[in-house]
């Protein structure tokens, strides 16, 4: 392991995590249960969480921007959600039958998401995008799907590859996907005009990884036009953006209604739950006896997740929590950019709504958020351009200063974060910058 002072500072405050990691290595490949939790010199082991914070097994407190991988717009343990779960659990956690809560949950979703004519629950966002693509193929009778490099739709075989197809994915499955450059409407137009075999286009509507590769709203409108012209289904993957960008998701915010939408994370308030929603007609392959598209799933619309989802969506509908999270996201981006300018660091923070991304500017050209939004930075640099050793030092440095970031590097903000958390985050960033300076990171 590298002898970085940043890793030393992190390791010194987290001996309990180091010990648990040794046990985890005996149990899990790579010692973790999700690729995003891998961290040098060891991942953080958390003991409890509340509101916008969590505490590790050594008792250290962290401002949390992992946010349940984006599920916790309401922060950890929102009283309304906890109360709904505690009320439901003794009434049964799995009925193996239809129940009223699932109907109420679907009604809440339909009242909020413009494209939600019908709802089909799944357990994860990965299952939701898998089902959406299968339905699109069955509905249109066409085999191919367009998706965009860098956009993330989970880990099933149709979506878990980019320019290179990794081990374990059948070439035939990969051939079913047409990969386009993000925001390149001419490439999409040409494919749609020259091929008659395209069922659907799927994308993250604020751009790859919650806007790490930003997506101009104009691109959404252009996609809507071209898909309508050619009878192709438009699918918004709102697994992150749903209920977060606005209570009606990115589609309500931008006024572009897709044919289908995939939702997860906030939909179930941090409990397992997800859905495909869309125009009633696109679900036609699921009706009939037997249906052309069969869909099972032991945990679909479990009553505890339904209770948590109903409670969460009620808070989203009835309060300004989405706006509060968006405002705090902006304050964090401003604070980090202020440090960069003051200390002459060639980095910047960017992002929209309740997210932030730290651009580490590998090319060292003068780049600010406006340049990123003007499309002046290649998408391969925005996503994947930060060296892995630097990602680990950024995360470990923030943790040493009491803040937990995702490996984008960046984070998602909840409506429970406030000015004091912003201050702690900006202070942590400044401490990180100081340590990176000592390690020569910013030298030309
Ligand atoms: C946009 C998007 N789609 C799909 C997924 C997959 O969801 P899940 O992790 O619930 O399978 C994610 C997960 O982060 C996501 O961000």
Written as one string, the DSSP assignment of 215-281 is: --HHHHHHHHHHHHHHT-EEEEE-TTTTTTTSTTHHHHHHT---SEEEE-GGGGTTSS-EEEEE-GG
Ligand 1: list residues with CB < 6 Å.
69, 124-126, 129, 152-154, 204, 237, 239-240, 264, 274
Biggest CA pair distance of the chain: 68
Per-residue pLDDT at 2:
54
| Mean pLDDT of the residues in the chain | 97
State the DSSP H helix or E strand holding residue 55, giving kind and residue range, or none if neither.
strand 53-56
Per-residue pLDDT reduced to its tens digit, 362-420: 999 999 999 999 999 999 999 999 999 999 999 999 999 999 999 999 999 999 999 99
Substitution site in 154, 202, 274 for ligand 1 pocket (most atoms within 8 Å of beta carbon): 154
Atom of ligand 1 nearest to the CA of 126: 11
pLDDT band at 8 (very low <50, low <70, confident <90, very high): very high
Atom of ligand 1 nearest to the CA of 154: 6
Atom of ligand 1 nearest to the CA of 124: 10
Got the DSSP string for 281-348? Answer: GGGGGG-TTTTSS----TTTT-HHHHHHHHHHHHHHHHSSHHHHHHHHHHHHHHHHHHHHHHHT-S-E
User: Whose alpha carbon is nearest atom 3 of ligand 1?
Assistant: 153
Beta bridge partners, 50, equal 53
Per-residue pLDDT at 396:
98
Q: How far is the CA of 347 from the centre of ligand 1 (A)?
A: 27
Region 84-107 average pLDDT:
98
Secondary-structure breakdown of the chain: helix, strand, coil percentages, each rounded to the nearest 5: 45, 15, 40
Vertex 12, ends 8 and 13: CA angle to 5°?
125
Q: How many residues comprise the chain?
A: 444
Neighbours of 94 (CB within 10 A): 10
Q: How far is the CA of 69 from the centre of ligand 1 (A)?
A: 9
The pLDDT of residue 325 is above 90 = yes
The pLDDT of residue 288 is above 90 = no
User: Whose alpha carbon is nearest atom 9 of ligand 1?
Assistant: 125
Q: How far is the CA of 326 from the centre of ligand 1 (A)?
A: 20
User: Whose alpha carbon is nearest atom 8 of ligand 1?
Assistant: 125
Substitution site in 264, 266, 407 for ligand 1 pocket (most atoms within 8 Å of beta carbon): 264
242-246, 280-284, 327-331, 440-444 — which is least confidently predicted? 440-444
Substitution site in 33, 121, 126 for ligand 1 pocket (most atoms within 8 Å of beta carbon): 126
Q: How far is the CA of 395 from the centre of ligand 1 (A)?
A: 21
Q: How far is the CA of 280 from the centre of ligand 1 (A)?
A: 24
Domains defined for the chain, CATH in brackets: 5-75+320-438 (3.90.1150.10), 79-318 (3.40.640.10)
Per-residue pLDDT reduced to its tens digit, 162-186: 989 999 999 999 999 999 999 999 9
Using an 8 Å Cβ cutoff, are 153 and 300 in contact?
no
Is 0.95 topped by the overall pTM?
Answer: yes
pLDDT band at 444 (very low <50, low <70, confident <90, very high): confident
Per-residue pLDDT at 1:
46
Q: How far is the CA of 233 from the centre of ligand 1 (A)?
A: 20
Q: How far is the CA of 63 from the centre of ligand 1 (A)?
A: 23
Region 24-38 average pLDDT:
95
Per-residue pLDDT reduced to its tens digit, 188-223: 999 999 999 999 999 999 999 999 999 999 999 999
Per-residue pLDDT reduced to its tens digit, 124-142: 999 999 999 999 999 999 9
Q: How far is the CA of 240 from the centre of ligand 1 (A)?
A: 7
The pLDDT of residue 289 is above 90 = no
Per cent of the chain over pLDDT 90 is 97
């Amino acid at each position: 392991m590298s002898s970085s002072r940043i890793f030393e500072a992190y390791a010194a405050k987290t001996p309990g995590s180091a010990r648990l990691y040794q046990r985890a290595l005996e149990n899990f490949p790579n010692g973790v249960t999700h690729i995003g939790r891998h961290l040098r010199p060891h991942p953080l082991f958390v003991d409890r969480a509340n509101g916008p914070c969590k505490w590790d097994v050594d008792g250290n407190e962290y401002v949390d921007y992992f946010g349940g991988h984006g599920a916790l717009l309401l922060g950890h343990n929102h009283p309304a959600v906890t109360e709904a779960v505690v009320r439901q659990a003794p009434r049964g956690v799995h009925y193996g039958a239809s129940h009223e809560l699932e109907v109420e949950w679907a009604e809440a979703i339909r009242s909020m998401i413009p494209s939600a004519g019908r709802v089909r629950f799944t357990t994860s966002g990965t299952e939701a995008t898998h089902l959406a693509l299968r339905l699109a193929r069955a509905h249109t009778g066409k085999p191919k799907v367009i998706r965009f490099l860098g956009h993330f739709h989970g880990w099933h075989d149709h979506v878990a590859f980019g320019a290179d197809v990794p081990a374990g994915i059948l070439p035939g499955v990969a051939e079913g996907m047409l990969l386009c450059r993000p925001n390149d409407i001419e490439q999409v137009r040409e494919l749609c005009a020259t091929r008659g075999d395209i069922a659907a286009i799927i994308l993250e509507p604020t751009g790859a990884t919650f806007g790490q590769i930003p997506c101009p709203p104009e691109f959404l409108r252009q996609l809507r036009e071209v898909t309508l012209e050619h009878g192709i289904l438009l699918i918004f993957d709102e697994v992150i953006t749903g209920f977060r960008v606005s209570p009606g998701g990115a589609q309500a915010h931008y006024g572009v209604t897709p044919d289908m939408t995939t939702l997860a994370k906030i939909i179930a308030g941090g409990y397992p739950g997800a859905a495909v929603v869309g125009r009633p007609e696109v679900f036609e392959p699921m009706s009939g006896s037997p249906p052309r598209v069969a869909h099972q799933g032991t945990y679909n619309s479990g009553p505890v997740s339904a209770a948590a989802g109903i409670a969460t969506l009620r808070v989203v509908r009835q309060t300004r929590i989405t706006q509060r999270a968006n405002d705090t996201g902006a304050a964090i981006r401003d604070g980090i950019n202020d440090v960069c300018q003051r200390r002459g660091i060639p980095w910047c923070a960017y992002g929209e709504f309740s997210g932030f991304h730290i651009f580490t500017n590998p090319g060292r050209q003068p780049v600010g958020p406006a340049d990123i939004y003007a499309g002046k930075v290649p998408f391969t640099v925005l996503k994947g351009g930060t060296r892995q050793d630097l990602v680990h030092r950024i995360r470990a440095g923030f943790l040493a200063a009491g803040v937990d970031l995702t490996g984008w590097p960046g984070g998602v903000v909840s409506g429970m974060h406030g000015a004091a958390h912003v201050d702690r985050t900006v202070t942590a960033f400044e401490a990180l910058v100081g340590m990176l300076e000592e390690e020569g990171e910013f030298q030309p």
